[in-house]
Amino acid sequence: MKNIFASRIGIIVVGAVIGALAPLLQYLGNPKNMGICVACFERDIAGAIGLHRADVVQYLRPEIMGFVLGSFLIAMATREYKPRAGSSTVIRFFLGVFAMIGALVFLGCPWRALLRLAGGDGNAITGLLGLIAGITVGVLFLKNGYSLGRSYANKKAAGWVFPAFMLALFLFLVFNVSFSEGGPIFFSQKGPGSMHANMWVSLGAGLFIGGIAQKSRFCTMGALRDIILARDIHLASGVLALLIMAFLMNYFVFAQFNAGFESQPVAHTAHVWNFLGMTLAGLAFALAGGCPGRQLIMAGEGDADSGIFVLGMIVGAGLAHNFSLAAKPDAVVEEVYKIGGIGMYGQAAVIIGLIFCLIIGFTMREKMQA
């Protein structure tokens, strides 16, 4: 049976649907220009289970669980559920850690970069340029034989572990579990972590997007990579559809469009670090073979190597906040506009992350057999 979602029309429709749902989720309560942000939402999950104590970004985001479970269910139903593992596990974990550190320096994953742009946030442009720079470096490595090696088929049960983890997180949310007084699960009372759509709406949107993204192979990093690598605009047409649809929804339907650089929601104007943060994230995504959204989808299909990348991102979020690496948004303090951005440790982490990725890119090479 032909997979219509993987056709050109299919990927455009999928991009447009995601572009429509994200602003809707914002309208229904998710943070501004953050209808869906894989990095931010994984960071919120890290906070909810106590891996960091930044009390404004703690929530068990059902969208993330929905992506994995939706992908898992649809992959099962369409015989694409294939447990696999064994491709440079620890490297993938640390690529996830540094990808998250980079994303939290910019304050968003590529999906949110698009949604920020669609909401009028000009800082997204510097971020997206950084993303392109990082992916371009990744493509150079790929052209020179970069490879993390093969994955191998695993037992059927192996692929259940990650979806089961996500289901457990969702149950913690549904039953509002508290493990000790004043302890986890933490839920933000203020800030972005306190802003969310109804959990069933979020889960439903997540499941639906997880399903269509699994069938269409939607990937923001892949979109840019394929243009740079092979002048292939297939995935990019879906990403463009997301951007245009999100803009139209923000502008005409929800009045959520507000153009400019300053005073943008959960964003900062430290341009150099917006650029470099996303350069690091883009390079890490390219070396790991998928944007954070795609990694969740593949984890749902049974790819343990993607699962470990996601776990790396969640742990990375914990480190980013515990070690003061994550950026602070611009804010107005006592009527003075204060530029956010990152401190010394955040800057060092970005540089170390870039060096780590470069070393991986140069050393993990296979002789091209073709």
Residues in contact with other proteins by the rule CB under 8 A: 3, 6, 80, 82, 84, 87, 142-143, 147-148, 150-153, 217, 219, 222, 225-226, 229-230, 232, 234, 288-290, 305, 368-370
Nearer to other proteins, 151 or 250 (CB): 151
Nearer to other proteins, 7 or 198 (CB): 7
Nearer to other proteins, 8 or 53 (CB): 8
Q: How far is the CB of 306 from other proteins (least distance, A)?
A: 9
Tell which residue, 43, 36, 65, 37, has the closest CA to residue 312.
43
Q: How far is the CB of 370 from other proteins (least distance, A)?
A: 4
CB atoms within 10 A of CB 347: 18
CA distance 140 to 146: 9
Nearer to other proteins, 153 or 272 (CB): 153
DSSP 160: G
Q: Where are the alpha helices (DSSP H) in 144-219?
A: 161-174, 199-216
| Class of residue 332 by CB neighbours under 10 A (exposed 0-12, middle 13-18, buried 19+) | exposed
Nearer to other proteins, 45 or 142 (CB): 142
Question: Residue 222 in contact with residue 294, Cβ under 8 Å?
Answer: yes
DSSP 35: S
Q: How far is the CB of 84 from other proteins (least distance, A)?
A: 7
Nearer to other proteins, 44 or 305 (CB): 305
| C-alpha 234 chain-centroid distance | 20
Compute the half-sphere exposure of residue 57: CA atoms within 13 Å on the CB side of its CA: 26
Question: Residue 273 in contact with residue 342, Cβ under 8 Å?
Answer: yes
CB atoms within 10 A of CB 132: 17
Nearer to other proteins, 42 or 301 (CB): 301
Nearer to other proteins, 225 or 321 (CB): 225
Helix (H) or strand (E) holding 331: strand 331-333
42: helix, strand or coil: helix
The DSSP secondary structure of 299-322, one letter per residue, reads: HHHTBHHHHHHHHHHHHHHHHHHH
Q: How far is the CB of 8 from other proteins (least distance, A)?
A: 10
CB atoms within 10 A of CB 201: 18
Q: How far is the CB of 285 from other proteins (least distance, A)?
A: 11
Q: How far is the CB of 5 from other proteins (least distance, A)?
A: 10
333 backbone dihedrals φ, ψ, rounded to 5°: -115, 120
| C-alpha 115 chain-centroid distance | 12
CA distance 359 to 241: 35
CA distance 42 to 64: 7
Q: How far is the CB of 207 from other proteins (least distance, A)?
A: 20
DSSP 332: E
Nearer to other proteins, 232 or 262 (CB): 232
CA distance 59 to 41: 8
Nearer to other proteins, 307 or 341 (CB): 307
Q: How far is the CB of 343 from other proteins (least distance, A)?
A: 34
Q: How far is the CB of 11 from other proteins (least distance, A)?
A: 11
Q: How far is the CB of 40 from other proteins (least distance, A)?
A: 24
